[in-house]
Amino acid sequence: MAVFTPLSDAQVAEFLSRFDVGSLVSLEGVPSGTENSTFFVTTDRRQLVLTLFEQGEHEELPFFVDLLDYLDEHRLPVPGPVHDRDGIALHSLAGKPALLFPRLPGRHPLSPNLEQCRVLGDTLGHFHVVSRHFPGHRPNPRDLNWLTAMHHKVLVYLSPEDQALMKDEVEIYQGVLGDAPELPQGALHGDLFRDNTLFEGDRLGGIIDFYNGCTGDLLFDLAIVINDWATEPDGRLNRERHDAILGTYLARRPMTPAEREAWPTMLRMTALRYWLSRLLVVYVDPPAHDLTPHDPEQFRTILRARLEHGALPLPETG
Ligand SMILES: Nc1ncnc2c1ncn2[C@@H]1O[C@H](COP(=O)(O)OP(=O)(O)O)[C@@H](O)[C@H]1O
Ligand SMILES: N[C@@H](CCOP(=O)(O)O)C(=O)O
């Protein structure tokens, strides 16, 4: 259950009256959210999603609005925030910052087929071509500096073997990525897991949940995608999904030589990023709400598999 702040029909009807979206017909809390309160709102004119921000840095919300507006203007499949009659998107409701979005069609592809992988790779490639010119700035909150600063907090909860693994890995990333030439930069989704996309058959209805959005190494975003979308339960890469995603991505945005060099390290670093963030949730900073945390072991397994088997060859593009 993840509606942390219940809303009445009257509150939402009054809220909607500043927007040109029609009148409230029905309001439904969305149970699957993890951080914010999300509602499906139906009016006599359209289907919408209302999000109340429960946690996080509220001063960063204008960045997310600007990023979504920018991507929407560039015809990426994202929920461009609905602006009111005065052009304002960000409001307050029940004492919480609130945004209204179009409701996008589709379901999360938990076992994506190869066409869905191709579509996702193509869309992310397009996203990154466009996002290189996004003028906003928000440093990546889960980059190597964060890993370096935070990994100490969980070491005490790990076996001696895992402590050594985590410490050695962070040191290697500092060596490899610290000395590398700057990688191509742009705006990132920052958490593009399967459950942050919606597909209707093979059509991508949209990419949602931009609250890890930031600016930084584009390769970081791509490595997150490969680790989530193209990994077998034993942590090894699934070659077909890997090639489907990277084939279409690289056709849109070929990697630079520095990115090719950094790629195996980036796959490991983004696996460790989730191993660590999930460990922090379990041991150090559990959420105020009673939600089942994601399993840290899954990303330890992925990290170990990347270490043991390395990266797969990158597919050739036409
Ligand atoms: N624009 C949207 N269109 C359709 N469904 C959405 C949209 N935004 C959110 N959802 C649904 O609400 C759920 C929770 O939203 P999300 O932004 O992921 O919340 P949280 O950050 O709390 O996890 C999503 O898994 C999805 O099912
Ligand atoms: N998708 C993530 C959750 C979001 O990451 P966080 O660093 O913002 O906690 C996961 O599967 O762990």
Per-residue model confidence (pLDDT) at position 214: 98
Helix axes 257-279, 160-179, angle to 10 degrees: 150
Ligand nearest to the CA of 273: 2
Per-residue model confidence (pLDDT) at position 290: 65
Query: Over the stretch 245-291, which tens digit does the pLDDT of each residue have?
Result: 999 999 999 999 999 999 999 999 999 999 999 999 999 988 776 67
Domains for the chain: give ranges and CATH numbers. 9-102 (3.30.200.20), 114-309 (3.90.1200.10)
Report whether residue 54 contacts ligand 1, using a CB cutoff of 6 Å: no
Report whether residue 32 contacts ligand 1, using a CB cutoff of 6 Å: yes
Q: Closest by alpha carbon to 25, among 7, 38, 9? A: 9
Query: Over the stretch 126-135, which tens digit does the pLDDT of each residue have?
Result: 999 999 999 9
Global pTM value:
0.96
> Residues 267, 104, 4, 297: what is their CA dihedral angle, to the nearest 10 degrees?
-20
Radius of gyration of the chain (CA): 20
Q: What percent of the chain is helix, strand and coil (3-state, nearest 5)?
A: 45, 15, 40
What ipTM does the predicted assembly reach?
A: 0.95
* Minimum-distance ligand 2 atom for the alpha carbon of 141: 7
Gap between the Cα atoms of 168 and 110, Å rounded = 33
Per-residue pLDDT band for 1 (boundaries 50, 70, 90) equals very low
Query: Over the stretch 5-17, which tens digit does the pLDDT of each residue have?
Result: 999 999 999 999 9
Query: Over the stretch 154-195, which tens digit does the pLDDT of each residue have?
Result: 999 999 999 999 999 999 999 999 887 899 999 999 999 999
CA atoms within 13 A on the CB side of 79: 24
Distance from Cα 95 to the centre of ligand 1, integer Å? 21
Query: Over the stretch 172-183, which tens digit does the pLDDT of each residue have?
Result: 999 999 887 899
Per-residue pLDDT band for 318 (boundaries 50, 70, 90) equals low
- Considering the chain, what is the average pLDDT of its residues? 95
Q: Closest by alpha carbon to 315, among 260, 225, 249, 247? A: 247
What is the best residue among 32, 55, 57, 212 to mutate for testing ligand 2's pocket, by most ligand atoms within 8 Å of CB?
212
Q: Closest by alpha carbon to 153, among 287, 285, 20? A: 285
Q: How far is CA 271 from the centre of its chain?
A: 14
Torsion-angle region of 22 (φ positive above 0: left; ψ -120 to 50: alpha; else: beta): left
What is the best residue among 39, 49, 51, 104 to mutate for testing ligand 1's pocket, by most ligand atoms within 8 Å of CB?
49
- Inform me whether the pLDDT recorded for 78 exceeds 80: yes
Report whether residue 34 contacts ligand 1, using a CB cutoff of 6 Å: yes
- Inform me whether the pLDDT recorded for 200 exceeds 50: yes
